[in-house]
Structure 1
Amino acid sequence: MTFVLAVDDDPAILRTLRINLRARDYEVETAGDGRSALQIVDEREPDVIVLDLGLPDVSGTAVIRRVRATSNVPIVVLSARHESDDKVEALDAGADDYVTKPFGMEELLARVRAAVRRGGTAPAPSSAVSTDGLVLDPEDGTATRDGVEVHLTPTEWRIVAALLRRPGRLVRQTELLRDVWGPAYERETHYLRVYLAQIRRKLETDPAKPKHFLTEPGLGYRFVV
């Protein structure tokens, strides 16, 4: 049974989430603040976390960073903050998805299902690539930069693997979003901007002047050996 941790300071939202998730055979535990959520994660890692950003003690973004220090569990942010900067900050901290309040329960449940599927899916096998001190092996899930191992999250690996499968080719934004997140995400282009920036910080010698993970403005991305 899939274990969902729902974190929100609004008891009515927690009650709604608990009822709807349990009705669909999810195991659900709830927390009303960040410290309680982190304690639950320490005791038993969920299969997915649904997390509000506006918590009364530890901010939701801080919770994401704390969780990401030890775990790759999928995190779906649920927040009343609509500004793109808040979305970018949450995604940059390590969230996998972002749903704004007020939300439709069916949409949220679809996002939870997608996050669970992605969390259990490794990147598609691809031949290892070695170039300019960078070694990427999606099949083994290992990356090194100048001999030093680099940790990539599952979402970052899915993006890297999708680009490695098409070396030198332009991968359009909609195609990459569909490959990594699914067809419902084809308009979420800001996800790609955030994650490609993270990938460059980890893998490029000079992230400001990337040589391998290139952007074609308004079109998509390509990996160049």
Structure 2
Amino acid sequence: MERKFEAKLSSHPNAERLRAMLERPIPLTDSRERNRALVDRSRALTTAVYLDSGFIDAEHLDRDGLYVDKYSSRATYFFAETPSMHATTRMIHSKHESAIDSLPTGEHFEIDYEKLAGVARVGDANELDGNIVEISSLAALPKKYRETDTDNGVEITKVLYAQMLRESLDQNHRVWLLNTHQSLLRHLSTLLGRDQVHVIGTPREYLGSITIPAAINPSLVVESVMKDNSLIGEMKREYLV
């Protein structure tokens, strides 16, 4: 993956800028500069991975050579790194009017609103306004390619989802929307709990591949983890809460 990334990035008109953003030190004292650096890293990483995967091309980039879409301006970005990888994702905030339809999954997929309401623990999905968000644009990249590297992104995914769970608890989010591949849904079921990831609609092609619409209640994830007295529950508490 790293070698293909370098080949694609080297032909990108802003390759050096992307590299600089990924390597930019994160300030520890100035919160505004720290947030800006994290967003820069997140956007640069997403751009690099999406270019490499063929999800986007030059026409999807802004004047700085970064991928943007109509949701970028109302998204919170999350970034994490381990010694061998860095990864990012974002949380898209809904509009208060037509909240569900203002999110990518609501706009592009047929959703079972009754199932969504059940996951969110509300009587009617239309009750959801600013407390429904979408998890989007998960991207990960090795820092350095090694033939023997066994880091497949599992550990760093734990870090990202722990960050997002804390954010959603702080902001009183009722439910997460997402659309993703079957393999990631299986991984999330292992990470968050088998009964915490709910398919709520019909799979369809989106951004070049078949993805599945799903919903997660972040409060119930944390509640389930805190109540689980098994060894697995103890392990989850170490990285999720």
TM-score by length of 2: 0.28
Higher RCO by CA contacts (8 Å cutoff, separation 6 or greater)? 2
Return the structure number with greater helix share.
Answer: 2
TM-score by length of 1: 0.29
